[in-house]
Structure 1
């Protein structure tokens, strides 16, 4: 008798942020632009590092304190992350998963974010504030890819679970969560309008 099954699953959580509390995405978008305009340190960092557009990653650590809507976002994210941890069957003991950092990303036309992971965190993710037509999807990489030394390429149109890369196109108000070791990137934004998102990390504490 022949049996086949999938092993070593890589889980991706995809939901509406508002499933755990109403969030005004228009207010969130306006807040992102307001913060970006006032954040001179962040603007300088982006210029120095050649980051297209704007990110508050290296400049601001207190977004939930600055704008109440970010505090509401974090309250909702806490519940989404807790649900994902249950799905992952984490044994957290007497500790929990707590927000480590949260930051704004504004990618203009032509902007991109190269492949990376989030070291020292457990769960990472993004919620989407503006996704105009032509805005890039999130690209996820099979974590086994570096070990596939002599493997042939997959058939075009193969099952999603067997692909080397998976593209996920979220909508405004969606939240995506993944384990922080999963390599991912944001391909070039082909839209004339800004692609806006809020990303975050949770640690085990």
Structure 2
């Protein structure tokens, strides 16, 4: 008898290199303080805290440290694409957008995917004690109409939800169709991250 694992879902976990965490955090906070359009969008949409997703599309141009971040992310994404055995047909994966997320105490980011992208991810800028982990959902969940729940001691690759608690400077990458969320931030301090999408430029 043999049992094989099929249709793997990959999660890439590594570290930024050559980036000063304190400088990156200061840049995020400075941008958030000056971005009136982003602040207005967050207030209008009921978004807890701050995100530059709907207001700024040129972070690498505004602050050189973001250009350095993108240069390092390009390297990570290329490694991950190779591990995923993508046939890019002479094209390449290129940054589509990059944005700041600042979640205060009680802030959440509900479950979602990133349509029209190939690889998405986040690097972590401030993760105080009690800050939310990243929650990843088994992409087959909508098809499990009659399946019983998994035991608490199920191996990670059979769990319905996987929680990843990153550290400052970590880089997490996943395919953009993977549903994920940020549960409530239970820390009194802000949880700061920088998220991004890569598209296929064929």
TM-score range, shorter chain: over 0.9
Write the deviation string for residues 173-204 of structure 1: whole angstroms up to 9, x where unpaired.
00000000000000000000000000000000
Map of 1:11 onto structure 2:
10
Q: 1:118 aligns with which of 99, 109, 114?
A: 114
Quick one: distance in 2 between partners of 1:170 and 1:155?
25
Gaps of 5+ in 1: none
Map of 1:108 onto structure 2:
104
Secondary structure, in 3 states, of the residue corresponding to 1:29?
Answer: helix
Write the deviation string for residues 45-68 of structure 1: whole angstroms up to 9, x where unpaired.
000000000000000000000000
Gaps of 5+ in 2: none
CA RMSD after TM alignment: 0.3
Quick one: distance in 1 between partners of 2:107 and 2:63?
26
Tell me whether 1:80 sits opposite 2:76 in the alignment. Answer: yes
Secondary structure, in 3 states, of the residue corresponding to 2:23?
Answer: helix
Secondary structure, in 3 states, of the residue corresponding to 1:127?
Answer: strand
Quote the offset at 1:156 in angstroms: 1.2
Quick one: distance in 2 between partners of 1:199 and 1:184?
13
Map of 1:129 onto structure 2:
125
Give the aligned length.
201
Aligned ranges for residues 5-154 of structure 1 at < 5 Å? 5-18=4-17, 22-154=18-150
Quote the offset at 1:148 in angstroms: 0.3
Write the deviation string for residues 81-122 of structure 1: whole angstroms up to 9, x where unpaired.
000000000000111000000000000000000000000000
Quick one: distance in 2 between partners of 1:31 and 1:154?
43
Map of 2:159 onto structure 1:
163
Quote the offset at 1:5 in angstroms: 1.2
Deviation >6 Å, runs of 4+:
none
Quick one: distance in 1 between partners of 2:188 and 2:127?
11
Quick one: distance in 2 between partners of 1:94 and 1:69?
30
